Structure 1
Amino acid sequence: MSTVFSKIIAGDIPGRIVYKDDTVAAFLTIEPVAYGHTLIAPVEEIDKWTDIPAGLWAHMNEVAQNVGKVIVEKFDAERAGYLIAGFEVPHAHIHVFPADDMSGYNLSSAMRHDETDDAKMDAAAEAIREGLTQQTAAK
């Protein structure tokens, strides 16, 4: 059975995808610790991050780092938080989020889906997409 992440990546259910290539996708979580909270996942369904092949893991982290740089800039965050949890969905993923302190590392304090503002979520996704496009153009 496909995971919810596979369904988002495939476009079978709505998602705010900010980056996608043949092996990795990045999209906003529906329960963010802050607007801009992005998940980086392999396209292939792999449950545990420790089972991800080294080359794919390196690429996921490159995407996570690029997203993190954009998050720091676009959300005026002191840092980009980085977290691997993996209990929410059986599909390996990296959480990257705006962080000014350690509170974002507590996923139990995340906003519920019904607490988020759709306009702010859409704006966050667009800001990250724009920032990633600018990064690519600058290379």
Structure 2
Amino acid sequence: MSSIFTKIVKGEIPSYKIAEDKKHFAFLDINPAAKGHTLCIPKKEVDYLFDLEPDELAALTQFSQKVAMGIDKALKPIRTGVIVEGLEVPHAHIHLIPIYKESQAFSLGKKVELTKDEMKKLADQISQNITL
């Protein structure tokens, strides 16, 4: 059975797409820990990040770096943090979470409320600042 992320990649479930190449897909997290919280995934469905082949893991990391640079350019956070937990969806993924102030507490359990219009605007802002 396909993971929810595979269904997003296939267009079976809508998403706020940020970037895509032949092997990767990035989209806004619908339960964001911060404004601009983005998920980067391989299109190939692999449950555990460290089960990816070394070249696949390196490629996902490089893709995530380009997305993070787009987040930084578009949203101007202090920096973009990274969380790799991998428990909530059985599909390898990297969370990119913009950090806007040093005292900002962020975790996957915290959520900021954003409207659909705000999510769409964020996705457009970030995607326009990514060079793949």
TM-score for both structures, normalised by structure 1: 0.88
Are 2:75 and 2:126, in contact at CA under 8 Å, matched by a contact in 1? no
Using the alignment, how far apart are the partners of 1:56 and 1:23 within structure 2? 9
Q: Using the TM superposition, give the Cα deviation of residue 81 of structure 1 relative to its aligned residue in structure 2, in angstroms.
A: 0.7
State whether residues 35 and 120 of structure 1, in contact with CA within 8 Å, keep that contact through their aligned partners in structure 2.
no
Shift of 1:76: 1.6
How many residues end up aligned between the 2 structures? 130
List alignment gaps of at least 5 residues for structure 1. none
Q: Which deviates the most, 43-52 or 93-102?
A: 93-102
Alpha-carbon offset, residue 25 of structure 1: 0.7
The structure where helix makes up a greater share of residues is: 1
- Gaps spanning 5+ residues in structure 2: where? none
Which structure ranks higher in relative contact order (CA pairs < 8 Å, sequence separation ≥ 6)?
A: 2
- Percent identity between matched residues is 34
Residue identity in the other structure for 1:13: I
The answer for the alignment partner of 2:122 in structure 1 is 124
What letter is aligned with 2:110? S
RMSD: 1.3
| 1:61-92 Cα distance to aligned partner (Å, 9 max, x none) | 11111111121221120001111011110101
Q: What is the DSSP-based 3-state SS (H/G/I as helix, E as strand, rest coil) of the residue aligned with 1:107?
A: coil
CA distance in 1, matches of 2:82, 2:23: 20
Describe how 1:66-105 pairs up with structure 2 within 5 A.
66-99=66-99, 100-101=101-102, 103-104=105-106
Q: Which runs of 4+ in 1 moved over 3 A?
A: none
